[in-house]
Amino acid sequence: MSHVTAADGTRLAFDVRGRPGAPPVLMLQGLGADRTAGLMQRVWLSPRFRTIGLDNRGVGRSDKPQGRYHLDDMADDAIRVLDECGFESAHVVGHSMGGVIAQLLALRHPERVDSLVLSATACHHHMWRRELLAEWASIALERGMREVSRRSMRWLVGPRSLRRYWPALGIVGPLALNVPAHAFAAQARAILDADDRLRDRLVEVRVPTLVVSGSQDILTPTADGEELAHHIPHADLVIISGAAHGFPVEHALTFNRLISDFFGRVAAPASDGIGRSDVK
C-alpha cells in the first residue's frame, strides 16, 4: 500500500497490482466503500492489466477529514494517484458514487481517461434518492453506522442474497462499519451536492464507454443506465438480469467477463449509436 497527498493536504491510500507494464485500470468505489470492494474485479483483471485501487477520502486507509467533501475533489484525488504512479492515462471503472467520480474525471481531465466502465450509477438526482441519501447521512451521525448498514441492506443487495445471507450481512453489512459516521455523511452529502447539470455535459465524453445496470437494482434503476447511455456518445448498455446494486460482488463472474470483453475491444472503432443487451 502507498500514500500520496492531495492538493488540500488529505493523505490518500492506494495500491497497485497486476502485470507490470500492462495497461492501467483505475478502480473507483461507491459510498462508504474502500478499495477492497473491487477486489474480485482486480484479481480477474490482474493477469492482463495493471490495476490501481484507491481509498476515496473518508474511507479505508485514506484520511477522513472533518468538513465538507466534494466529488470534484475526489476526481482530482484520482488524478493525483495516477500522477504518483506515473500513468499518463488509464481505463476507469467506477461503481455507484465511483461512477459519478469517473464521469467527472472524463469531463475534467479527458486526456487522462482511455475508457469508462460505469456500473450501477447515474448522472442526475431523483428526489426520492436525494431524500434517501440525506436520511442515511442523518442516521449515520445520530445513530451510527450499524443502523445505516441495517437500513441500507435492501437497497444494495438482491432479495435472494438478502434471504440467504441475512445473518452474515447483518453482522458485516454492505457498508464498511469502520467508516466513521462523519466521513460517511460527508461522502453522502458530496453526492447530494453534485451538479445536476452533469448529464448535459456527457455529450463531451469521447472515450469508449460501457454502462452496466442490474435489472433488480432499486437504488440506481435501469432507467439511470439508459439515461447515461443515451447521453454519452458511443456508449454501450448492458443490463445484468437478476442483479441488484451490489452486482460486482453478487454477480462478480458476469461483471468480470463484461469488463474483460469490453477492455479487449476498446481499441476497435466505435460503433454508431447505442447498443443495448441483457445478460442472463
* Longest alpha-carbon distance in the chain: 52
Look up residue 111 and give its DSSP letter.
Answer: G
What is d(CA 145, CA 128) in angstroms, rounded to the nearest whole number?
A: 21
Topology at the third CATH level for domain 2-125+197-279: Rossmann fold (3.40.50)
Are the CB atoms for 45 and 25 separated by under 8 Å?
yes
Are the CB atoms for 117 and 92 separated by under 8 Å?
yes
- Listed residue (30, 77, 83, 29) closest to 53, CA to CA: 29
Over residues 51-92, the pLDDT tens digits come to 999 999 999 999 999 999 999 999 999 999 999 999 999 999
Q: Check residue 153 and give its pLDDT.
A: 82
Which long-range contacts does 130-137 make (Cβ < 8 Å, 24+ apart)?
130/192, 132/219, 133/31, 133/188, 133/189, 133/191, 133/192, 134/188, 134/189, 134/192, 136/184, 136/188, 137/184, 137/185, 137/188, 137/189, 137/192
Q: Check residue 273 and give its pLDDT.
A: 41
Q: Check residue 177 and give its pLDDT.
A: 58
DSSP conformation letters of 204-230? G--S-EEEEEETT-SSS-HHHHHHHHH
Q: Terminus-to-terminus CA distance in the chain, angstroms? A: 37
Domain ranges of the chain: 2-125+197-279
Encode the chain (280 residues) as per-residue pLDDT tens digits. Answer: 899 999 999 999 999 999 999 999 999 999 999 999 999 999 999 999 999 999 999 999 999 999 999 999 999 999 999 999 999 999 999 999 999 999 999 999 999 999 999 999 999 989 999 999 999 999 999 999 989 988 888 888 766 555 444 443 443 444 445 799 999 999 999 999 988 789 999 999 999 999 999 999 999 999 999 999 999 998 999 999 999 999 999 999 999 999 999 999 984 443 444 445 555 4
Instruction: Flag whether the pTM goes above 0.85.
Output: yes
Distances (CA, A) of 111 to 79, 81, 105, 181, 250: 11, 15, 9, 35, 33
